[in-house]
Structure 1
Amino acid sequence: MERTCMAELVAWKGRSGRKPLIVKGARQTGKTWLVKEFGRRQFADTVTIDFMLDESYKSLFAQDLDPRRIITQIELRTGRRIDPEDTLLFFDEIQEAPRGLTSLKYFCEQAPEYHVVAAGSYMGLGLRREGESYPVGKVDMLTFYPLTFEEFVRAAAGDVLADALEAGDMALLDSVADVIERHLKDYMVIGGMPEVVAEFVASGDYAECRRLQGDILQAYDADFSKHAPVRLLERMRMAWRSIPSQLAHENKKFVYGAVRPGARARDFEEALQWLEDYGVVYKVPRVAALRLPLGGYEDLSAFKLFCCDLGLLGAMAGLPETAVIDGSRVFTEFKGALTEQYVLQEYVAQGEQPVYWSNDSGSAEIDFALTSSRGIIPVEVKAGENLRSKSLRVACEKFCIDRAVRTSLSPYRDDGWLINVPLWAVMHSKRFALSQ
């Protein structure tokens, strides 16, 4: 599978001020495969040290953290020369060797000529242990996410359609909207976890893809047990398992009492932070006003909580995989939550940090809001056929916003203040909003 992150890895290699690179992301997002593929394409050799597979490698950091001694010991253990120009040194599952994470500081300062990439899960990388420090300012960072819709199309349908989707020529794309929408229905069920996508491309078996999603969810649960404090474990699981039911409500604001009757914020705040640190949830905060900077208007007591992948969300919710063949059902299941999840994933993968807005009375709500060079772009997500945009109009008038986005299954249309963007082209919504 071709991932857009490959271009970012290639750019890192050619950067004059290159530092050791930490690649992070939730488990099963394809970090290990992509780094090895990067090494295969860009280097004469890749030396991989997997600290989970072989714990004896942790001894590399038992003495000092001198990078040249570490390089020499790796050469002796593997029998392979590490050339600064032609070898990629890959520390996989780096969270299992915290002193290895600290050593990246010294690779940056004392041996910057080496190409060093470290990969690990969010949770392990976020742990702080006594006597060990995170190499702040001494590493470059790259976050991996599940496959975007464009990447899914590239894997499932090939480069021709994916390239057209990436270019975003709506006059061309509208003529094949029915084809793209069929792929979007598949994506809504399959999601973007690479193993699941690979199985779907190979077999087209929805049931087998659901089984693999179940395996990933079980692996996440096992990782909770491994990394999280025992006192938080059950609360993490309760909050995690509540996500589908939370999103199934008309008002998708996270409600602590829906996790456990009588629960309050203080009971679950730390557990939710651990889920965020692990990368399995996205928190979308509420803002009291659609004004810049959005962070200055954040309501710390209200937020929506989404899963990291819409395929996993569907599996957690028990959505039948056959929903993909039943008209537009997959877009409207549990109050359109899958559709909002999809839109959020597309934005997050682009580096956006969406928020949502609602007025004090609760009579108007904007699903997402983005920051742009021209101000705030409010976004309304429509899963069904009802395309009234009362809340968008209220928000635009209240905050003097001249361009808004509504994304739905309807064709592209620019009405001046309101742009309707097909769901399958939502990755271009900011560009369209700024085009006037």
Structure 2
Amino acid sequence: MTYLERKVDWFLEEWKSDPDRKPLIVRGPRQVGKTEAIRHFASRNYGSVIEINFVEDPRYKAITADGYGADAIVRSISLIDPSKRFVPGDTLIFFDEMQEHPDIATALKFLRIDGRFDVICSGSMLGISYKRIESNSVGYKTDYEMRSMDFEEFMWAKGHDHGVADRMLERLVSASPFSRVEMDVFSSMFLDYCTLGGMPEVVSSYVDRGTFEGTLDMQRQLVLDYREDIRKYAQGMDQARILNVFDHIPVQLARENKKFQISKVARGARFRDYRGCVEWLEISGMVNICRCLHYPELPLKGNYDDNKFKIYFGDTGLLVAMLDNEASDDLRANRNLGVYKGALYESIVGEALSKSGYDLYYYSKEDSTLEQDFFVRTRDSLVPVEVKARNGTAKSLRTLVSSDAYPDIRFGVKFSAGNIGSSNHLFTAPYFTAFLLQRLLKAYDNGDAPLIDNPDR
């Protein structure tokens, strides 16, 4: 399939240009495109690429048996495969599926000190064993967290140039509505993205064929692979409980109150028995956790209730794959999201925020209907973010913005199917611009986006 350009491509080029570069560890969930991106980069930058896959060829797990020094590693690899060429200054050693042999992390220090060869490691479940990897290589590595494709990368895959996001951002900064053509094109493309998710194999098939044919089967196979990962890597934990949590995510997101309730997972289920299961899924990269704030105020970190949270998939394509057949068919054929409309749009916006680097927070006031989907921040302000699946007023958002009880909040942001607008301390933007929110708020902090806030409360 066609290689799809990714943002990691830029990072890898920058890493290569650093004369003081350290071994690189690319972390991320299964099937987000780590191996393909590293191979693409390697083929363009090195005369010799030594790829070691600890899953496909377990013999290489023995390369550390005689020591972790560079000479010992090179000698052991050469014994297994004498055809591999180690050219000082022009060789990349690529250790793939590192989670199968985390002990290789100890060798990174010695390969770094030796300096003859560049080293990149990659794996799909590294978060689960990362404490061991970290302790064995601290100070001698660089980390990069890779996710599935965001909407900007999806637009590149569809043939749009790199300036498309900048032009979108200009609209947001100046609060200038998109044209009718722009709204139609971007909204349609975004719904395709919601349907497909951002897994490169799925997107590549869609781009090459021009249809959704076969994409649902790919998504469902990925769900099966994730379930297999849970069985394989959840050592010392109750795998059945982790699978129960994983399987209940779509059901609980479809409810009006999207808070994840452990009591709904199994009869007699108690939170203390499942806390580790939720943490395991988060560390694995399979899900994003959105935590409930104690109160809508700064700072955000530490200001949340450990026992209250929502769970979204790390890639919304997983949610689509787990819908029932009727809902999935309706989505692809008729663009109808049914009861999952709110779940899908809230998930995709949460995913966009997470991929931008935000931690996810929401707020639900006890004994009240006040509930807010997400919160982010500017340099000095707390910003509530609403995702409207249907037309109507954002009552909770307006309350947070207008009430003197929340002094850290000066304005709010609402994502909907509508166009750009700004009034009464509320900035409205289309769903498809959610990936640009961090850049918009940075422009606000720099004084370049004055229209999203009126200083008079």
| Corresponding residue for residue 399 of structure 1 | 406
| Corresponding residue for residue 58 of structure 1 | 61
Query: CA contact under 8 A between 1:90 and 1:118: conserved in structure 2?
Result: yes
Aligned counterparts of 2:164 and 2:127: Cα–Cα separation in 1: 39
Amino acid at match of 2:398: R
**Farther-moved stretch of structure 1 (224-233 vs 54-63):** 224-233
Q: How far does residue 185 in structure 1 lie from its aligned partner after superposition?
A: 1.2
Structure-2 change in CA distance of 1:391 and 1:96 (3 Å)? same
Q: Secondary structure at the match of 1:206?
A: coil
**Farther-moved stretch of structure 1 (164-173 vs 54-63):** 164-173
Structure-2 change in CA distance of 1:128 and 1:78 (3 Å)? farther
Amino acid at match of 2:97: E
| Corresponding residue for residue 210 of structure 1 | 216
Query: CA contact under 8 A between 1:377 and 1:430: conserved in structure 2?
Result: no
Q: Secondary structure at the match of 1:142?
A: strand
Q: How far does residue 402 in structure 1 lie from its aligned partner after superposition?
A: 1.4
Q: How far does residue 81 in structure 1 lie from its aligned partner after superposition?
A: 3.0
Q: 1:302 aligns with which of 302, 305, 308?
A: 308
Q: How far does residue 84 in structure 1 lie from its aligned partner after superposition?
A: 4.0
| Corresponding residue for residue 142 of structure 1 | 144
Is 1:408 aligned to residue 412 of structure 2? no
Aligned residue pair count: 429
Aligned counterparts of 1:55 and 1:8: Cα–Cα separation in 2: 30
Aligned counterparts of 1:227 and 1:415: Cα–Cα separation in 2: 50
Aligned counterparts of 2:300 and 2:55: Cα–Cα separation in 1: 41
Query: CA contact under 8 A between 1:49 and 1:91: conserved in structure 2?
Result: yes
Aligned counterparts of 1:324 and 1:429: Cα–Cα separation in 2: 28
Aligned counterparts of 2:56 and 2:178: Cα–Cα separation in 1: 46
Q: 1:95 aligns with which of 92, 95, 99?
A: 99
Structure-2 change in CA distance of 1:167 and 1:115 (3 Å)? farther
Structure-2 change in CA distance of 1:337 and 1:134 (3 Å)? farther
Aligned counterparts of 2:227 and 2:119: Cα–Cα separation in 1: 30
Q: Secondary structure at the match of 2:111?
A: helix
TM-score using structure 1 length: 0.92
Aligned counterparts of 1:178 and 1:324: Cα–Cα separation in 2: 18
Query: CA contact under 8 A between 2:34 and 2:146: conserved in structure 1?
Result: yes
| Corresponding residue for residue 80 of structure 1 | 84
Aligned counterparts of 1:298 and 1:98: Cα–Cα separation in 2: 33
Query: CA contact under 8 A between 2:61 and 2:101: conserved in structure 1?
Result: yes
| Corresponding residue for residue 239 of structure 1 | 245
**Farther-moved stretch of structure 1 (398-407 vs 76-85):** 76-85
Structure-2 change in CA distance of 1:80 and 1:409 (3 Å)? same
User: What is the root-mean-square deviation in Å for CA atoms of aligned residues?
Assistant: 2.2
Aligned counterparts of 2:185 and 2:386: Cα–Cα separation in 1: 24
Query: CA contact under 8 A between 1:421 and 1:429: conserved in structure 2?
Result: no
Is 1:27 aligned to residue 30 of structure 2? yes
Matches within 5 A, 1:17-416: 17-75=20-78, 77-108=81-112, 110-112=113-115, 114-123=117-126, 126=129, 133-155=135-157, 157-160=158-161, 163-168=163-168, 169-170=170-171, 171=176, 173-174=178-179, 175-229=181-235, 231-318=237-324, 319-326=327-334, 329-330=336-337, 333-334=339-340, 336-386=342-392, 388-396=393-401, 397=403, 398-400=405-407, 401-415=409-423
Structure-2 change in CA distance of 1:412 and 1:244 (3 Å)? same
Query: CA contact under 8 A between 1:67 and 1:103: conserved in structure 2?
Result: yes
Aligned counterparts of 1:80 and 1:325: Cα–Cα separation in 2: 50
Q: How far does residue 405 in structure 1 lie from its aligned partner after superposition?
A: 0.6
TM-score using structure 2 length: 0.88
Query: CA contact under 8 A between 2:360 and 2:375: conserved in structure 1?
Result: yes
Amino acid at match of 2:92: L
Structure-2 change in CA distance of 1:132 and 1:145 (3 Å)? closer
For each residue in 1:230-286, what CA deviation from the matched residue of structure 2 results, as whole angstroms up to 9, or x when unmatched? Answer: 651100110000000111111111101110122111111112222112211111111
**Farther-moved stretch of structure 1 (26-35 vs 373-382):** 373-382
For each residue in 1:175-215, what CA deviation from the matched residue of structure 2 results, as whole angstroms up to 9, or x when unmatched? Answer: 41101111111111111111111111122443511111111
**Farther-moved stretch of structure 1 (192-201 vs 408-417):** 408-417
For each residue in 1:66-122, what CA deviation from the matched residue of structure 2 results, as whole angstroms up to 9, or x when unmatched? Answer: 1232134334534333234322211001111122122223333x2245311000012
Identity across the alignment (%): 32
Structure-2 change in CA distance of 1:233 and 1:15 (3 Å)? same
Q: How far does residue 223 in structure 1 lie from its aligned partner after superposition?
A: 1.4
Q: Secondary structure at the match of 1:27?
A: coil
Aligned counterparts of 1:116 and 1:123: Cα–Cα separation in 2: 17
Structure-2 change in CA distance of 1:82 and 1:125 (3 Å)? farther
Q: How far does residue 127 in structure 1 lie from its aligned partner after superposition?
A: 6.0
Query: CA contact under 8 A between 1:123 and 1:279: conserved in structure 2?
Result: no
Query: CA contact under 8 A between 1:284 and 1:304: conserved in structure 2?
Result: yes
Structure-2 change in CA distance of 1:246 and 1:364 (3 Å)? same
Aligned counterparts of 1:142 and 1:172: Cα–Cα separation in 2: 36
Structure-2 change in CA distance of 1:261 and 1:166 (3 Å)? farther
Aligned counterparts of 2:410 and 2:219: Cα–Cα separation in 1: 42
Structure-2 change in CA distance of 1:172 and 1:75 (3 Å)? farther
Is 1:15 aligned to residue 22 of structure 2? no
Query: CA contact under 8 A between 1:18 and 1:112: conserved in structure 2?
Result: no
Q: Secondary structure at the match of 1:317?
A: coil
Structure-2 change in CA distance of 1:172 and 1:35 (3 Å)? farther
Aligned counterparts of 2:440 and 2:135: Cα–Cα separation in 1: 44
Structure-2 change in CA distance of 1:315 and 1:365 (3 Å)? same
Unaligned runs of 5+ residues in structure 2 are: 451-457
